[in-house]
């Protein structure tokens, strides 16, 4: 397989590059820049000036990072960056590295600063405009700049950090020791906007409608007269990819929906009606539920479940692909920017390779298609916005995530048709009540889990010995961390009552109050 890793930019776009030194907030910086209407892209910290200039950046941001600038193997940027005349903003480690490269001393402090600090602004104009004379910022550092390079001035300080914000307005090089990108710095967005609009001269003209136009042109040019396959699951990402490709190449797109027997209730009907009613799409529905369930017979290990499901999906997909008329050269996937970053592709920064994502590195090489990944430089919230621009119905755009292996990893232990029936009915009731309580958009993922245990209960005058269902509801910004949702007791009571009374085979309901980490969102 081959994939185009070049970012897609709208015409006459403004691009700000973010050199990622391994900060846990690097993605958040990129999101904040895009929220301001400016396209941003994470790149390697050691990228050469020539590599950076290929993107025609209007500004460069140096992220924070876990290293100390005095470490022997600390990541560094090309010093020539500061001689380009392009505005630069260093954040935390990025500020310290900027200062060190330009001749300042940077040393460790006696006690690492972590948490909120009071910022005193000395110059309320320009870079710090709109920030109150005293405001809260979020610190996270073990080193400090001890003196300033020539031409720099102090813009703000804290009681323990005399150079909390500094800048050389003439050269448009700035640094902050705190993190303006986090919500714990209430006026951080003012600082980011000042850098973008006052220092970089941005107009904030990056819009999703521009992305649609530019990406559609790029897809048409790359595809030519070939046909494109898209595995449609009914989730947000694959649905948006399908809608974008349908707009771009029309009937050259072939969508394959595989019914693996592990779907939510009425999932197949929903997908068929949505894409046949709203879009002129060549949709092929493959019912392979018997094969998938046969593969899972007696299997309890979650990794083995995933392996068997993945293997069967590839086989079904390859068989279906052979029936497509015409020259099928491309496979479309809903890979997102966090997937690319977390799997170590796209930009080889200093962050750890967190996971091998199924859309980035997990497909076999012998599928024989070139990849098209039109969302690979978008975040999840941007994908939802793109779906709105493309005219997808809201019930698709706002859907909570659903795991690729489906209900197989929400049926703990062996998977049987009866367990799937119980879980589907529970899931339907749970989501009905969450929607009725106006909690669906206030939570980020809600689902039921069928536990491999049975418990004693009493119904009417009789003793029961039935299944236990766990409810899981979380809130999160990026799904890398998550907190359990504080659902109202009365809502939980209604859900529990309905599950026990309406779903045959359930006599006990429990609520999962673990966060990620240490727990994962899914149970398997």
> Residue 142: is the preceding peptide bond cis (ω within 30°)?
no
Catalytic residue among 14, 55, 77, 92: 92
User: What DSSP string runs through 221-261?
Assistant: HHHTT-EEEEE--SSHHHHHHHHHHHHHHGGGEEEEEEE-S
Catalytic residue among 181, 215, 373, 433: 181
d(CA 113, CA 138): 9
Structure tokens at 160: 């323990």
Give the count of alpha carbons within 13 A of 447, CB side only: 24
Catalytic residue among 14, 77, 141, 179: 179
With CA atoms as reference, report the closest residue to 18 among 28, 5, 30.
Answer: 30
Structure tokens at 20: 């990622």
**Spatial contact of 511 and 496, defined as CB atoms under 8 Å apart:** no
Helix (H, G, I), strand (E, B) or coil at 287: strand
Q: Is 311 a catalytic residue?
A: no
Q: How many contiguous H segments (helices) and E segments (strands) does the chain have? A: 14, 18
d(CA 464, CA 242): 47
Give the Cβ contact number of residue 31 at 10 Å.
Answer: 20
Return the DSSP state at 478. S
d(CA 101, CA 175): 13
**Spatial contact of 262 and 405, defined as CB atoms under 8 Å apart:** yes
Structure tokens at 74: 């600390």
Residue 166 parent element (H or E): strand 165-168
d(CA 164, CA 155): 8
**Spatial contact of 372 and 228, defined as CB atoms under 8 Å apart:** yes
d(CA 212, CA 218): 10
Helix (H, G, I), strand (E, B) or coil at 168: strand
Q: Is 92 a catalytic residue?
A: yes
Q: How far is CA 508 from the centre of its chain?
A: 34
d(CA 60, CA 97): 14
Q: Which residues pair with 114 in a beta bridge?
A: 140
| Phi, psi angle pair for 59, to nearest 5° | -165, 160
Place of tokens 């649905």: 239
Return the DSSP state at 326. S
Instruction: Tell me the catalytic residues.
Output: 92, 179, 181
């Amino acid at each position: 397989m081959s994939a185009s890793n070049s970012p897609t930019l709208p015409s006459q776009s403004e691009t700000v590059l973010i050199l990622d030194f391994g900060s846990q907030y690097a993605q958040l910086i990129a999101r904040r820049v895009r929220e301001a209407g400016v396209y941003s892209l994470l790149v390697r910290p050691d990228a050469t000036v020539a590599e950076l200039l290929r993107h025609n950046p209007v500004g460069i941001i140096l992220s924070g990072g876990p290293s100390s600038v005095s470490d022997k193997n600390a990541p560094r940027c090309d010093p020539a960056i500061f001689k380009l005349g392009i505005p630069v903003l260093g954040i935390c480690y990025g500020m310290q590295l900027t200062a060190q490269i330009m001749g300042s001393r940077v040393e460790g402090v006696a006690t690492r600063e972590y948490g909120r600090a009071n910022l005193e602004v000395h110059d309320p104009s320009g870079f710090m405009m709109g920030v109150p004379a005293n405001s809260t910022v979020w610190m996270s550092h073990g080193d400090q700049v001890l003196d300033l390079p020539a031409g720099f001035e102090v813009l703000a300080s804290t009681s323990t950090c005399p150079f909390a914000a500094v800048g050389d307005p003439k050269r448009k090089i700035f640094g902050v020791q705190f993190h303006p990108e986090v919500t714990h710095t209430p006026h951080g967005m003012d600082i980011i906007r000042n850098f973008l609009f006052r220092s970089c001269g941005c107009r904030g003209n990056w819009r999703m409608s521009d992305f649609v136009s530019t990406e559609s042109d790029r897809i048409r040019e790359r595809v030519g007269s070939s046909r494109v396959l898209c595995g449609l699951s009914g989730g947000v990402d694959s649905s948006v990819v399908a809608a974008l490709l349908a707009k771009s190449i029309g009937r050259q797109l072939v969508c394959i929906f595989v019914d693996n027997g592990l779907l939510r209730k009425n999932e197949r009907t929903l997908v068929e009606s949505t894409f046949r009613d709203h879009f002129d799409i060549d949709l092929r529905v493959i019912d392979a539920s018997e094969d998938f369930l046969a593969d899972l017979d007696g299997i309890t290990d979650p990794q083995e479940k995933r392996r068997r499901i993945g293997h069967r999906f590839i086989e079904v997909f390859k068989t279906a692909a052979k029936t497509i008329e015409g020259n099928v050269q491309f496979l479309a996937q809903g890979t997102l920017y966090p997937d690319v970053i977390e799997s170590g592709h796209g930009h080889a920064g200093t962050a750890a390779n967190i996971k091998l994502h199924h859309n980035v590195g997990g497909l076999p090489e012998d599928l024989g298609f070139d990849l098209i990944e039109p969302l690979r430089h978008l975040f999840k919230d941007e994908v939802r916005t793109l779906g709105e621009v493309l005219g997808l119905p809201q019930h698709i755009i706002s859907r909570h995530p659903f795991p690729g292996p489906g209900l197989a990893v929400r049926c703990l232990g062996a998977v049987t048709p009866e367990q799937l029936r119980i879980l589907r009915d529970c899931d339907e009731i749970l989501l009905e009540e969450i929607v009725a309580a106006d909690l669906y958009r206030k939570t980020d993922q809600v689902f039921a889990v069928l536990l491999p245990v049975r418990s004693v209960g009493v119904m009417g005058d009789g003793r029961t010995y039935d299944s236990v269902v766990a409810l899981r509801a979380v809130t999160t910004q990026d799904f890398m961390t998550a907190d359990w949702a504080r659902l109202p007791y009365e809502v939980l009571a209604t859900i529990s009552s309905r599950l026990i009374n309406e779903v045959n085979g359930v006599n006990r309901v429990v609520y999962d109050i673990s966060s990620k980490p240490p727990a994962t969102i899914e149970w398997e």
